[in-house]
Amino acid sequence: MTPGETPCANAIFQQPWWLDAVAPGRWGEVTCEHGGRIVARLPYVVRGGRGVRMLTQSSLTHTLGPWVEPSSAKPSRALAREHELLAELEAALPPAQAFLQQFSPLMLNALPFHWAGYRLEVRYTSRLHDLSSSDALWEGLRDNVRREIRKARKRVEVVDDLGVGQFHDVLSMTYARQQIPTPHSLAELERLEDACARRGAGVMLFARDDAGQVHAVAWTVWDQHGAYYLLAGADPRLRASGASSLLMWEAITRSSAVTDVFDFHGSMLQPVERFFRAFGGRQTPYLSVTRIGPAVRLAMAARSGGRQLGARWRLRRR
């Protein structure tokens, strides 16, 4: 275990070093101890000021939520203990006007939060289990994905040494095509990439052609619990090359050297879900757990109204 790591985590996103990188000075945690050891833990990221304080997670963090030490007791007693620890964690959270987190797929128990007045909502990711056989993984791909990968191999090479700046440039093209500001600054990505590189916790991949053009990029992070498709982007002018499918396949096969689970960070958007499903992943539920006070609801409504007004203004300008 490297410095800054804790065994009290079921995903890389719960590690203190990860939280230091994505939310420096803005995260905290509540814990439960028994016999001098931590048996439950719930990290959180603080957003907003005193008037509208929210406990949430970073945009570079897929899931957060609680960790509870596994129990060898009979199922009914183990569940009762888990209920008690989760309730203790919830009660220990600092005062805030909102709580918004997505729990890991490994933590599907949030009943104590429901009983405390939180809203639970099921969401879905897609996961591959058992990465040991590349032949089996290849057979699990949809036919059109295999064709895309073969096509891309004739047009681009996969490299991993072009740097965070190049990655950010291509990522920004993806958001620009959707007329959305890039949500991650170069400094944020540099800080996280440095933290991951020092721990061998992932890889940035680039699909580059003979002319030096980068068609697509993909960033996968991992630990022993799983690999996670963190960020990806593509040059809109070069999307027909199949490079995005090739990078996804490369990310899966490289992850197999470290872990046995690949999480696509599935989206609820239908086109994105369809793309991920084509790689053979299994639909996997996880929970969105929220409690939003009146002040935050009002602020969110005002922000949403401002976005709608801005959209109408842009349409009139066209």
> pLDDT-derived band of residue 295, with 50, 70 and 90 as boundaries?
confident
64 DSSP assignment: B
272 CB-near residues (< 8 Å, 6+ apart): 266
How far apart (Å, rounded) are the C-alpha atoms in residues 231 and 221? 9
Domain end (from 259, 274, 305): 259
- Residue tagged 């964690």 (tokens): 89
Any domain includes 278: no
Residues 89 and 160 occupy one common structural domain: no
Helices 163-177 and 186-197 cross at an angle (nearest 10°) of: 130
Residues 242 and 299 occupy one common structural domain: no
Per-residue pLDDT tens over the stretch 73-102: 999 999 999 999 999 999 999 999 999 999
Average pLDDT score over the chain? 91
Query: Terminal CA-to-CA distance of the chain, rounded, Å?
Result: 56
Residues of the domain holding 60: 12-124+286-317
Residues 306 and 223 occupy one common structural domain: no
Any domain includes 30: yes
Per-residue pLDDT tens over the stretch 34-60: 999 999 999 999 998 767 899 999 989
232 — phi, psi (to 5°)? -155, 155
Angle at 298 between CA 295 and CA 302, to 5 degrees: 140
Mean pLDDT of the region 220-237: 95
Any domain includes 84: yes
Residues 170 and 194 occupy one common structural domain: yes
Task: Check if the beta carbon of residue 108 is closer than 8 Å to that of residue 285.
Answer: yes
Residues 116 and 152 occupy one common structural domain: no
Residues 54 and 140 occupy one common structural domain: no
Per-residue pLDDT tens over the stretch 175-217: 999 899 999 999 999 999 999 999 999 999 999 999 999 999 9
How far apart (Å, rounded) are the C-alpha atoms in residues 94 and 170? 39
Does the pLDDT value for residue 244 go beyond 80? yes
Query: What pLDDT sits at residue 1?
Result: 57
Any domain includes 105: yes
The 3-state secondary structure of 274-292, one letter per residue: HHHHCCCCEEEEEEEEEEE
Residues 120 and 56 occupy one common structural domain: yes
Q: Which two tokens stand for residue 295?
A: 């002040």
Counted domains in the chain: 2
Query: What pLDDT sits at residue 306?
Result: 56
Q: Which two tokens stand for residue 53?
A: 């304080």
Residues 57 and 157 occupy one common structural domain: no
306 CB-near residues (< 8 Å, 6+ apart): none
Query: What pLDDT sits at residue 318?
Result: 42
CATH number at residue 139: 3.40.630.30
Does the pLDDT value for residue 312 go beyond 50? no
Residues 82 and 107 occupy one common structural domain: yes
Residues 253 and 143 occupy one common structural domain: yes
Query: What pLDDT sits at residue 51?
Result: 75
> pLDDT-derived band of residue 316, with 50, 70 and 90 as boundaries?
very low
Residues 245 and 201 occupy one common structural domain: yes
CATH number at residue 308: 3.40.630
Q: Which two tokens stand for residue 71?
A: 């129990």
Residues 200 and 291 occupy one common structural domain: no
Per-residue pLDDT tens over the stretch 101-139: 999 999 999 999 999 999 999 999 999 999 999 999 999
Query: What pLDDT sits at residue 139?
Result: 96
> pLDDT-derived band of residue 304, with 50, 70 and 90 as boundaries?
low
Any domain includes 265: no
Mean pLDDT of the region 285-300: 86
Any domain includes 298: yes
Domain end (from 223, 242, 259): 259
Query: What pLDDT sits at residue 317?
Result: 43
Domain end (from 240, 259, 278): 259
Q: Indicate the burial class of 98 (C-beta count within 10 angstroms; 0-12, 13-18, 19 or more).
A: buried
Any domain includes 167: yes
Any domain includes 274: no
Per-residue pLDDT tens over the stretch 153-177: 999 999 999 999 999 999 999 999 9
> pLDDT-derived band of residue 310, with 50, 70 and 90 as boundaries?
low
Query: What pLDDT sits at residue 269?
Result: 81
